[in-house]
Amino acid sequence: MSWWIAAGILFGSLTALFLLALPAAFAFLGINIVGAWVWLGKDAGLIQLVRNGVASIASFSLTPIPFFVMMGEVLFHTGVAMKAIDAIDRVIWRVPGRLSVVAVVAGTVFSAISGSTIATTALLGSLLLPEMLRRGYHPSMAMGPIMAIGGVDMLIPPSALTVLLGSLAGISIAQLLIAGIVPGVLLSLMFVGWIVLRASMRPELAPAFEHQTATLWERVRPLLIYVVPLLLIFAVVVAALTAGWATPTESAAIGAVATVAVAAIYRSLTWERLGKALLGTAAISGVILFIIVGATTFAQILTFSGATNGLVEAIKQAQLGPWPVLIAMMLVLLVLGCFIDQVSMMLICLPFFMPLVAAYGFDPVWFGVLFLMCMQLGLLTPPFGMLLFTMKSVAPKDIRIEQIWRAVAPYVVMGVAALIAVIVFPPLATWLPKVLFAP
């Protein structure tokens, strides 16, 4: 069987299962069972399927995922996140579009302590959106920043999806976690700049800033109490990771323990809230790990069917330069991001992309950041961007999905601009890991 026929059968079947609304985990499992029987040797192939599944989730490199997820779950269920939002709200004033800026700054802070993009968007949407609409903010000024900064959570450590990408792609997880910081902060600054510019040019979109009667110390004190400790947790995790004092798993564990300790110090931690956080952690981590079960076997089936080597050789024989190949890979990711979830994007693309990354000599850490930025855009692009549906679930019932699409459109454009900037100027992604991990 020709490689292109095998690839057509595998991806055609996968697409059909997605169109039937079958969850990604079950779609990959079904394809893997049939593929293992056909290409891996019938009964022996099915035995290999089971072995691959066990080996894939028993990997030590995946253990940071539940710890990173737990940090965010504890933060949200104990109410510490709400106190941090209030503290940030007190400090930012006399700025056009103030609450929109608060949403971006608060989301950036949460990105440094939470491993879940959906949790960040849901929290900010449920807390800030009603207040912004009540004060007369235009829906686009209220919803757009919340969705946009939720996607940035994927780039700034801790990030469960970054750990997963590094594990599946064979990229240094520690360096990949650090490499996303500068692009993530760059996106946050772009969002703030756009909000201030738009609110200044069209003041009717956001009410004028409210008069503050509190003293400077009264405004700064909550920031020192509720925000600085969260940033210190982030600093400790990054320092332990980059100094070689701890592995990614150990750094994640330190962060999780520190988050629980901070919640306890604030007297916000109860057994009930801790139980909810642990249940949320188990649910999110379980979904991720169940999908991973299909990753190793799917990649192996693609290799045995000849699809992976056939496509890579075809691209090499076409004698395309590295830039056309890189741009083509980015376009594939951007298109896929409109229709499928981020984990499925990894499972589908990495078996093909990583051999091309090696063949053309691309820096794997740099490419990993580009992959993350494309996935971050996939969270925001219609029709099936996950954060679009998250916003719809917390927005008032009279908000239509079309309004949500229009609200996020400028931030998608900025995301594409940031992606181009990192492509053209790779040190935006590679400089910080090189400095912090220098021998």
Separation of alpha carbons 166 and 370, rounded Å: 13
Please identify which residue in the block is written with the tokens 């690839």. Answer: 7
Please state the rounded mean pLDDT for residues 350-369: 91
Euclidean distance between CA atoms 179 and 215, whole angstroms: 39
* DSSP E strand stretches across 308-422: none
> Which tens digit of pLDDT belongs to each residue from 84-133?
888 888 888 778 888 899 889 988 888 777 666 777 787 788 878 888 88
Lowest mean pLDDT among 39-43, 57-61, 130-134: 57-61
Say how far apart CA 368 and CA 300 lie, in whole Å. 21
Residue 223: other Cβ atoms inside 10 A: 17
**pLDDT > 80? residue 421:** yes
Is the confidence at residue 213, as pLDDT, over 70? no
Q: What is the domain partition of the chain in residue ranges?
A: 3-436
Rounded to an integer, the average pLDDT of 187-194 is 94
Q: Which pLDDT does position 24 carry in this prediction? A: 66
Q: Higher-confidence residue: 259 or 48?
A: 259
| Model pLDDT, residue 210 | 60
Q: Quick check: 294 pLDDT over 80?
A: no
